[in-house]
Amino acid sequence: MGCIVIATANAHKVEEFRALMGKQDVDVKSLLDYPHMPPIEENGSSFRENASIKALAACNYCDVPAFADDSGLEVAALDGAPGIYSARYAPTAPERIAKLLKALEGKTDRRARFVCVIAIAVNGEVVDTFEGEVRGRIADAPRGEGGFGYDPVFIPDGYDCTFAELSAEEKNRISHRAVAFRKAMEFVEDQMSMLDNDFL
Ligand code: IMP
């Protein structure tokens, strides 16, 4: 069985990736399995750069193929903020949501999109990157208990409920991460058995 490391220590993301990986015959590890790995400095200026930095660092440290995602929320009325700073917009998820709703107070344009870029690194090189997005709008107040991060205030286009009100299965079907992930898996299946240990 092949092995791949998902370059994140975010348990929610690990669960989403594991669910997306489905029945693939691959041992999915994450940085939670490598607690001594030094923190990765995300100093890129785009989702793509940050995903590549993380994938490469994990691939080099763990010595197995690595997937990394960098993702965030872009809000039209805030000129794309918080964008690549989504995780650092405020210290905790409830504070990030409160700051976002305050910044949007009185604004009628509530359009937003979640973006995810997945980078794949094999043998010390980033082999490709894949982007997914889901468009939607920011709710007036948080709703729902599921998901993580900005999920309680993000209403995807075509829905009346927030990401946090959707089942995990439904979110995993339409999310930015799912779209990027499907593209990445197509590449993996098309190009090579890079998850197969024989390849390494
Ligand atoms: P990253 O771990 O550097 O990719 O940070 C992404 C940040 O964007 C997360 O900490 C969340 O705040 C936000 N984010 C990304 N994807 C999602 C999602 O699916 N739901 C809610 N928030 C998300």
Q: Is 130 in the pocket of ligand 1 (CB under 6 A)?
A: no
Give the per-residue pLDDT at 14.
86
- Here the tokens at position 200 are 């390494």
- Here the tokens at position 151 are 């999920």
Is 33 annotated in the active site?
A: no
What is each CA distance from 1 to 59, 91, 132, in whole angstroms?
18, 39, 28
Question: Which member of 25, 69, 70, 151 is catalytic?
Answer: 70
Query: How far does the centroid of ligand 1 lie from the alpha carbon of residue 126, in Å?
Result: 22
Q: Is 146 exposed, middle or buried (0-12, 13-18, 19+ CB in 10 A)?
A: middle
Query: How far does the centroid of ligand 1 lie from the alpha carbon of residue 108, in Å?
Result: 24
Report the predicted TM-score, pTM, of the whole model to 2 decimal places.
0.89
Instruction: Give nearest CA residue, ligand 1 atom 5.
Output: 87
Give the per-residue pLDDT at 199.
44
Task: Summarize pLDDT for 82-102 with one digit per residue, the tens.
Answer: 999 999 999 999 999 999 999
